Amino acid sequence: MDTNTPQLVYWAGNSMPYSLLDRAEGAAAAGWSTVSCFVGDLLDLERSGTPLRSVRARLEELGVELNTLDPYLAWYPGYDPAAPVGVAVKYGAPHLGATEADLLRWAAELGATYVSTVAPFDDPSGQFENPADASFEEVVDSLGRFADAAATAGLRPHLEPIPTTKVADLDMALALVNAVGRENLGLLLDTYNLGRAGLAPAELDQVPRELIFQIQIADAKRQAVGDNYFDDGFSSRLFAGDGELEAVEMMRRIAAKGPLPPSGPEVVSERMDALDPATAAAESLAATRRLLEEIGV
């Protein structure tokens, strides 16, 4: 690899059933030096009385940086983290309750740089109540206020387009980020989500490199399974190149813009869930290195 090799991030979704420190220990053993965490990890730690300074100390012992808090939804107008509604409650309830105050406190205590900024999920099957919609102008105003608050803690929010959320595709996410116009606000691009949204890799050419703060890398078969985003997205992801969503070509297009931003796999799947964290981390690192070699990075 050349000097353009990006900072490699081991995203928490690769070992979703495990705790933050179990994932970090596995990641360190495999050779990773940067990890993300779920907000549910931190809520659980605080409820158990575990001081986050001790968590940070352990991460430092391992030589691991925690760079991202993931996900945050309460920036969206009308979203109540104390009483979330919708399909996401069934699948991801532990990760829906973070407040703005939580994020700012965690960033200060753990030294995180990024926060994955996600909009509420709708349910295409109609089995769950959908969260209320907000106008484009309301979303811009709310996102701008959150970006300003995040800046006081040195946080860089990156908006993640996810199919079936209120920010369902790249065009919407890019329009919002441009309308807000804050230097600390950008995009988190997940190749799985982009593929599921029907994005053609060439569409990435419109995105300024400086707005792409981080990348999550995953692939999947063309045909999704289940009734909603979570049925497929939490069970069937693959490493880039092992599926049919053109994840490799997406990465090649982004790499053509210049040095890649912090990047790494987020392969949430039943197969990965069954692996111990060290094994999952080792497989993920090997797959990431193969991908980077394939795209010439």
Q: 86-109, pLDDT tens digit by residue?
A: 999 999 999 999 999 999 999 999
pLDDT in the model for residue 3 = 52
Q: Which residue's entry shows tokens 């807000």?
A: 180
Task: Indicate left, alpha or beta for 272 from its phi (over 0: left) and psi (-120 to 50: alpha).
Answer: alpha
What ranges in the chain are assigned the alpha helix state H?
20-30, 39-47, 52-62, 88-92, 100-110, 136-152, 170-180, 191-196, 229-233, 247-255, 270-273, 277-294
Q: What is the DSSP letter of 190?
A: E
Query: Of the candidates 235, 293, 292, 232, which has an alpha carbon nearest to the alpha carbon of residue 263?
Result: 292
Per-residue pLDDT of 220-252, as tens digits, reads 999 999 889 999 999 999 999 999 999 999 999
pLDDT in the model for residue 102 = 97
Please state, as a whole number, how many other Cβ atoms lie within 10 Å of the Cβ of residue 4: 12
Q: Which residues of the chain have pLDDT under 70?
A: 1-3
For 78, residues 6+ apart whose C-beta sits below 8 A from its C-beta are 131, 132, 134
> What does 64-87 look like in DSSP terms, one character per residue?
-EEEEEEEE-TTSTT--TTS--ST
CB 185 within 8 A of CB 146: no
Query: Of the candidates 189, 244, 170, which has an alpha carbon nearest to the alpha carbon of residue 6?
Result: 189
pLDDT in the model for residue 269 = 97
Q: Give all domains of the chain, ordered by start, each with its CATH number.
A: 34-207+219-245 (3.20.20.150)
pLDDT in the model for residue 5 = 85
pLDDT in the model for residue 61 = 98
CB 165 within 8 A of CB 120: yes
